[in-house]
């Protein structure tokens, strides 16, 4: 079996090291390593990160293959340095049964670029009326541990309480899309001065914050785990901070776009910037950055949401919500958090690999780069810089808010369980055949 020798990579602690792996497992880490017949990767100047883990990806299959498939989304993930992605359940049929989540798992295995870990729906059809087959999905081959109706809020407090109680039996977590539907009917962007000037219906911060406040209290009451999806406001950060000080088992995520972009981008009515929750005020961006830096917010998750061109090449009000983000996420975090001095690279490994794997209970992901660990890692060039363009996108959709923007860094190599999925910045065509 052929070995791979990564020579001269820099660790997140700043040391220069070599890494040898074979058969999908890291065999040795240290200086001056050699291995007869090994494939050598010159990593001089490159940063070695554990394979990135995304707790919030929309892969669209089954049912919406015009936007994305598990194969194309997996290729996009590999291009962004990811080795594990959690697939949201708002597919058709909805991933609310063991059969659907096992199908998604199998399609991810066949693609071979990343581990695709299905997320199960909380309610049947994501309609918010009765609980889905949570136990069956947990016991299935997919071993689902994260459940969400993302795209829709679990608005009924009794349903939410029952879900939190149910997942305790197998150490699961309910991931809430915090959006009061009554307060956001017809909403088009963040509610405030800009929405008033543009004449667009507003999405108030309290619509997010009120649901989070309710749910952390429910989680405390039943002693269960709650995860908050795509947190976006300063008030939400305050609530999560309060809940953690109180000892409530709550975790939270922020997207790269909510770390970097503000509601001011909406002034051009470009539908690429239409997203749910909406882009917020500068004050909110600064607050979520600080929340991520101080550990109040646990992870960065992309909320990769592909749409076909016709869903974005239209007037603002008719456009779909969502942005693609797998290929750009690490570079945006580099810009928003590392260049600003708020995070070190070791922190990036924590919020983009270790912590999301822990929250999702996937033991084979988010592991340190040490002997005996799975050979899932990313080599990143922090000194690079380039304009982000369509050629950087490897999925079926192109609704990125960063097209034409200069972003730092470049993902150069991605290895998933020893397979080369990205080589010198190029996604490989047959990762299953390269080990």
Catalytic (active-site) positions: 303
Candidates 413, 419, 422; CA nearest to 432 is 419
Task: Output the six-digit token pair for 303.
Answer: 């909320």
Q: Write down the residue that tokens 């700043």 correspond to.
A: 14
Task: Output the six-digit token pair for 224.
Answer: 């269960």
């Amino acid at each position: 079996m052929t070995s791979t020798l990564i020579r001269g990579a820099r660790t997140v602690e700043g040391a220069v090291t070599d890494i040898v792996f074979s058969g999908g497992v890291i065999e040795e880490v240290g200086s001056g390593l050699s291995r007869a017949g090994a494939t050598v990767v010159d990593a001089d100047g490159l940063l070695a990160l554990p394979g990135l883990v995304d707790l919030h990806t929309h892969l669209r299959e089954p049912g919406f293959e015009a936007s994305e498939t598990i194969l194309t989304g997996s290729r996009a993930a590999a291009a962004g340095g990811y080795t594990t992605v959690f697939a949201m359940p708002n597919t058709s049929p909805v991933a609310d049964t063991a059969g659907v989540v096992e199908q998604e798992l199998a399609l991810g295995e066949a693609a071979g670029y990343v581990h695709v870990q299905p997320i199960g729906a909380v309610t049947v059809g994501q309609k918010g009326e009765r609980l889905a087959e949570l136990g069956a999905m947990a016991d299935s081959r997919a071993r689902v541990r994260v459940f969400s109706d993302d795209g829709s809020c679990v608005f009924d407090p009794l349903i939410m309480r029952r879900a939190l109680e149910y997942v305790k039996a197998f150490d699961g977590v309910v991931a809430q899309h915090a959006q009061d539907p009554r307060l956001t009917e017809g909403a088009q962007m963040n509610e405030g001065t800009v929405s008033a000037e543009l004449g667009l219906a507003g999405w108030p911060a309290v619509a997010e914050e009120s649901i989070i406040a309710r749910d952390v209290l429910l989680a405390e009451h039943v002693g269960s785990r709650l995860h908050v999806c795509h947190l976006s406001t300063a008030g939400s950060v305050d609530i999560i901070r309060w809940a953690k000080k109180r000892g409530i088992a709550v975790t939270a995520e922020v997207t790269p776009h909510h770390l970097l972009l503000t509601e001011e981008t909406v002034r051009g009515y470009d539908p690429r910037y239409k997203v749910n929750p909406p882009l917020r005020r500068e004050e909110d961006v600064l607050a979520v950055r600080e929340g991520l830096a101080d550990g109040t917010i646990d992870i960065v998750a992309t909320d990769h949401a592909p749409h076909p061109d016709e869903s974005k090449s239209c007037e603002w009000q008719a456009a779909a919500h969502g942005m693609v983000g797998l290929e750009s996420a690490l570079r945006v975090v580099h810009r928003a958090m590392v260049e600003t001095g708020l995070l070190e690279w070791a922190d990036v490994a924590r919020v983009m690999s270790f912590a999301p794997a822990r929250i999702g209970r996937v033991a084979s992901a988010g592991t340190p780069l040490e002997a005996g660990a799975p050979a899932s890692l990313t080599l990143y060039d922090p000194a690079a810089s380039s304009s982000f363009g369509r050629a950087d996108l490897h999925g079926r959709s192109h609704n990125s808010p960063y097209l034409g923007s200069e972003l730092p860094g470049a993902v150069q190599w991605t290895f998933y369980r020893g397979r080369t999925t990205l080589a010198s910045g190029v996604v490989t065509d047959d990762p299953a055949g390269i080990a």
